[in-house]
Chain A
Amino acid sequence: MSRLNANLLHPCQRVGDNLARWREAGGGEALRLGAANPAAILAAVKDADLRGLGGSGFPVWRKWEAVASEAPRPDKYLVCNGNEDEPGTFKDRLLLEETPHQVIEGALLAALAVGANRVVLYVNPDLTRSLAALQAALARWHNTEFLQLAGDALGQAITVELVPSSGHYIGGEETAALEWIEGKFPFPRGKPPYPAQYGVHGCPTLINNVETLANIPAIVRHGADWFRAQSTGRGTGSKLYSLSGDVLHPGVYELPMGTTLGDLIFVHGGGLLSGKPLKAVFTGGPSNTLLTPADLDVSLDFDSLRERGAALGTGAMIVVSEGTGMVKRVAEYARFFAHSSCGQCISCKTGTATISRLLDRIDTGRGTAADLATLESLCRMLPGTGRCHLVNGVAQLLDSSFRHFRQEYRQALK
């Protein structure tokens, strides 16, 4: 039996905006089931132990319960977060481009489950093909009975709206997305209150990643037990891994949650390019950490990776072969984060910029031992000082690289 456990990326889902083909393959069935019994949706998702696949790994049902328990004021929002801009992550754009109907269906099911009457599809405008596909798909939905069906189940009309995001990296942060949808610059908000209590225009708001929502229809159709059986490790369901870097076959792979790193790289990715040895893997997502060849046996699920001091994040695996300068690589990431900082928290604005500057100095052979010491203390000082996770991410990446490749930093010193 093939290890490829295609659910989200099954060929019958990858029909683009072609509604007829999607319906032939059972598309819309989950929405019918969900509309007949909205209460069962949340129960199934809870049973399935679906996690937030945008990087947090937070149990989906807990967010949903929080939103479901709030009264509409007067609306309730559901935001489908498609701002995907993490380094090395390219899964949501594929889902949006090739399976837009699945995503819309998932979003409507989630809206039914929590009682949201306004659905916002929030998509990065740089993903032009995804945006176009979603737009075309949405236009077709307006000619179907589905919206009516969902509205009847909810007891009020459901609106589905496509909002291109700002395209800023920080716009993918939950509360920053809310700000943008309200028409403001995407500055992350302080928390609490959480979006469940105080979201778009003060209304209770549920915000989930594209991949998370895309999983809902299958859970509703096939049940939680089926979903749990899809995984091999400790997680549940399947996961889209974005594999890139020095591998022979990079790409998006839908595999059982908990597939080992070794399998992903060597079985699915075809191994390393030109047969070079593996040096490290950057896991992409809001928290960037490093895995090393010693971690080839690790199951790629949220819990197993956390035990190794790493994080699954968005499921992006950037493979780096021997012969790659780690300092330069980390410096590149740090520059990305420094540039992406929205600047409202001083610690993040100056902290990321300082880290980037010091790393550049060390990388170009102008760094001193004092610079390295500064970086190390920044790693301890910065986490938790920002409104969002951006500054934590930089510190985590730096810390992770110190743990595994301290020698390389030392060698680069003046």
Chain B
Amino acid sequence: MKRGLSLQAALAAYRPDAELAPLPEQIDPDRLLSFFHPDHLRDSVTTLTVGPNAGAHCQRELADLLQAEAVIDEVDLAGVPVTDTDVLVIGGGGAGCAAALAAAEHGARVLLATKLRLGDSNTVMAEGGIQAAIEPGDSAQKHMQDTLRAGHHAGDPALVAAMVGDGPEVIHWLIRQGMQFDQTDSGDLHTRRAGGTSAPRIVHCRDYTGLEMMRVLREAVAQHRGIEVWDQHPAVELLSNERGQKCVGAVLSSLADRSLRIVRTRSVILATGGLGRLHLNGFPTSNHLGATGDGLVLAYRMGARLCELDSFQYHPTGLVNPPYLSGKLVTEGIRAAGALLLNAQGQRFVDELQPRDIVCAAIIRECREGRGIHPDVGGVGVWLDTPRLERSQPGLLERQFPKLLARTRVAGIDPRSEPILVYPTLHYQNGGAVIDVDGATTVPGLYAAGEVAGGIHGRNRIMGNALLEIIGFGRRAGIAAALSGHDRGPKKITLEHVNRARRALALAGLPLARRAPQVLPPYAAMGKDS
């Protein structure tokens, strides 16, 4: 990487009122992506050798976990208390809560187990908003086209159709739950346009839409008598029937004392979110502490097919400075509102409202080719030109982006007068467990919803579709799981699928030393206790 300007030098050269040169001619997006997008970094991708996706490409850090031994063995299950329920939801973010509520509304007894606390999730970090085709000039068809195009047509059209079709109803449902959205002067829902889309479609609550969403979901879950919540009980393994072919429960481990609990169910819904905390390719991440890809690991060992394991989304504008905020997001909404990206020379280099992967690759190119800005403490980035936005629309930042102001204020930065240094941050797992329109994975009894599920966003997600997906598919999975039929007889709860995976590893000559799921990243205190 060529070194660009130091932070001080760049700041000194910065003028919010400087005349900008027109955008230089853009290179072919495919070329840009293949040279500069982190998914295409040399040696970052490997090929899976065992499991349902054997032969598929996969990011190396993830492949290591997918092809690892289980953390528990038969011996650990001796004497473990068993709890019976109809539906077990693993994950306490937006998708998990939506699934639990939908399942409970359909008469199921629901147990919701969270890794940390209810609401500790990436949902609360979603800032920009939620997509739904509700404007008069918009249509579900356009929404679908935007989603598929931005995902490089790798998404499953049936899933995308289901998601965009759910859009208006999802917003309606959220409002009924008590969620607040920003409104226009006339009282309509206020919409913004997201990068890579053809119409304004983002409904939002200032710049903390996800937080507001989680607030109401959390209250609804807590109040529902059909839902029991076990906080700080991450799932460490699923349970299968004696043929290892159906998911019939899970083993949870208490974070407090590491004791195990067996939950025996009719269906399990994985809503475990993504894997940012694996820090693929060494990138910082916007994800919360628990995002270690556990759901993918558990589903894969159970035999569920996954998809797009080599495709991840890096959010173009993660904070760089100060280091303790590294990876934290600056919402895309601010670019939607008109903020520009400038390199060290104060020049625009990309259309800021291109899809996220293109903008990311463009930022990485600027930095790699010596037009980046280097703070003293390490890292590199480009300017997000907030002062210019403030000049053109005075008061906008304070009105619509209070979370950004609050976050940077503690670091002594005022975005109204000083541009923000940003660099791509590992943000979202585009792929995940293959599901159908009911959220069912390829393993009977196992459902997936939210970031852990794949097939919707193709190889790139547009802003606001994640919040739509977690509610839409969360509810779909919850309903299907609640209505799924009883199994005849109590088929045994076993670790047969673990045996099967172990056999495959042994036959492939892979090491049995590595264990997954990780539960928490290695630098979390929990891992150092024992």
Residues of A within 8 A of B (CB): 87-88, 90, 126, 167-169, 244-246, 248-250, 273-274, 320-321, 323-325, 327-328, 332-333, 335-336, 339-340, 360, 363-365, 412
Say whether B242 faces chain A, with CB atoms less than 8 Å apart.
yes
Select from chain A the residue with minimum beta-carbon distance to B489: A339
Contact with A along B477-492 (1 / 0, CB 8 A): 0000000000011111
Known contacts A328-B79, A363-B79; is A339 also within 8 Å of B502 by CB? no
Q: Is the CB of A274 within 8 A of B488?
A: no
Using Cβ atoms and an 8 Å threshold, which residues of chain B touch A327?
Answer: 78-79
Using Cβ atoms and an 8 Å threshold, which residues of chain A touch B82?
Answer: 360, 364
Distance A324 CA – B79 CA, assembled complex (angstroms): 11
Say whether B525 faces chain A, with CB atoms less than 8 Å apart.
no
Query: Can you show 25 pairs from A to B with CB atoms below 8 A apart?
Result: A87-B242, A90-B243, A167-B488, A168-B488, A169-B489, A245-B499, A248-B503, A248-B506, A248-B507, A250-B503, A274-B502, A274-B506, A321-B74, A324-B75, A325-B74, A328-B79, A333-B492, A336-B491, A336-B492, A339-B489, A339-B490, A360-B82, A363-B78, A363-B79, A365-B79
Say whether B73 faces chain A, with CB atoms less than 8 Å apart.
yes
Residues of B within 8 A of A (CB): 73-75, 77-82, 242-243, 488-494, 496, 499, 502-503, 506-507, 512
Q: Which of A273, A320, A332, A363 contacts B492 (CB 8 A)?
A: A332
A-B contacts, CB under 8 A, total: 66
Known contacts A245-B499, A336-B489; is A88 also within 8 Å of B81 by CB? no
A-side interface mostly: mixed
Q: Is the CB of B490 within 8 A of A336?
A: yes
Q: Is the CB of B503 within 8 A of A273?
A: yes
Beyond contacts A248-B507, A364-B82: 4 other A-B pairs, Cβ-Cβ < 8 A, are: A87-B492, A250-B503, A328-B77, A328-B79
Distance A219 CA – B512 CA, assembled complex (angstroms): 47
Using Cβ atoms and an 8 Å threshold, which residues of chain B touch A336?
Answer: 489-492
Select from chain B the residue with minimum beta-carbon distance to A166: B488
Q: Is the CB of A325 within 8 A of B492?
A: no
**Closest approach, in angstroms, between the C-beta of B262 and any C-beta of chain A?**
10
Select from chain B the residue with minimum beta-carbon distance to A170: B489
Known contacts A364-B81, A364-B82; is A325 also within 8 Å of B75 by CB? yes
Using Cβ atoms and an 8 Å threshold, which residues of chain A touch B491?
Answer: 336
Q: Is the CB of B73 within 8 A of A335?
A: no
Q: Is the CB of B79 within 8 A of A412?
A: yes
Distance A325 CA – B81 CA, assembled complex (angstroms): 14
Using Cβ atoms and an 8 Å threshold, which residues of chain A touch B73?
Answer: 323
Using Cβ atoms and an 8 Å threshold, which residues of chain A touch B78?
Answer: 324-325, 327-328, 363, 412
Select from chain B the residue with minimum beta-carbon distance to A323: B75
Q: Is the CB of B507 within 8 A of A323?
A: no
Using Cβ atoms and an 8 Å threshold, which residues of chain A touch B492?
Answer: 87, 332-333, 335-336
Distance A320 CA – B79 CA, assembled complex (angstroms): 17
Select from chain B the residue with minimum beta-carbon distance to A85: B489
**Closest approach, in angstroms, between the C-beta of A242 and any C-beta of chain B?**
11
Select from chain B the residue with minimum beta-carbon distance to A88: B242
Distance A333 CA – B489 CA, assembled complex (angstroms): 12
Distance A51 CA – B55 CA, assembled complex (angstroms): 46
Q: Is the CB of B502 within 8 A of A273?
A: yes
Q: Is the CB of A335 within 8 A of B490?
A: yes
Using Cβ atoms and an 8 Å threshold, which residues of chain B touch A325?
Answer: 74-75, 77-79
Using Cβ atoms and an 8 Å threshold, which residues of chain B touch A365?
Answer: 79
Using Cβ atoms and an 8 Å threshold, which residues of chain B touch A328?
Answer: 77-80
Using Cβ atoms and an 8 Å threshold, which residues of chain B touch A320?
Answer: 74
Distance A412 CA – B242 CA, assembled complex (angstroms): 24
Distance A246 CA – B77 CA, assembled complex (angstroms): 15
Q: Which of B80, B243, B503 contacts A364 (CB 8 A)?
A: B80
